[in-house]
Amino acid sequence: MAIWTLTLLIAINAIWPIGNVRAVDRDHAELWELETVIMQEGAAIPEGGILDGTKPVEVVVSFRVPVAADVDPVEPENPIQHGDTVTFELTDQFRLLSGASKNLQMGPIPVGHVELDTDPDTGLVTATVIFDGDPDVFNGTYNKVLVGFDA
């Protein structure tokens, strides 16, 4: 009887894996300390400030990723899991080259990557963050995971 039960469980697990976590597209509001700064010639442009259209513009984004090991400022009720994604709008005021991808690192530890895309009709630039880095970042090994990227 025990062999038959084990065989049945193995067969069921092959069809419907037990213990796998499905990646979820999360709301950017779930990220902590999300900050976006518009820069030109190394200086931050304040909200409502004027950009020089003849000079390059840079968007710098940084945020903390709420992970299982975090307890400060609070323990996250629903921490980011390996494979989750977050998509947010950056701007529609200037265009970026679509298809750009940047790695997200916490020091030498890979946390994931971000893909930048510009809608050809609206000009809206979006960033999709894919948390596909080191699984230890998400399983309770690390806390205070701070990452950023520029576009």
Q: Is residue 26 part of a domain?
A: yes
pTM exceeds 0.75: yes
Q: Which residue has the higher pLDDT, 43 or 21?
A: 43
Does a structural domain hold residue 92?
yes
Instruction: Flag the least confident range among 48-62, 88-102, 103-117, 134-148.
Output: 88-102
In a domain, 1, yes or no: no
Please indicate, yes or no, if residue 134 is contained in any of the structural domains. yes
Cα separation values, 46 from 4, 88, 95, 135, Å = 68, 20, 20, 37
Beta-strand ranges (E) seen in the chain are 25-26, 32-40, 43-45, 58-65, 85-91, 100-106, 109-118, 125-130, 145-150
Show the domain range for 94. Answer: 20-150
pLDDT of residue 75: 79
Summarised one tens digit per residue, pLDDT across range 53-100 is 888 888 899 999 999 998 877 778 889 999 999 998 887 776 665 568
- On whether residue 123 sits in a domain, the answer given is yes
Phi-psi map region of 14: left, alpha, beta (phi>0 left; psi -120 to 50 alpha): alpha
Locus of tokens 């970026």 = 96
For position 96, which CATH number holds? 2.60.40
Count of the separate structural domains present in the chain: 1
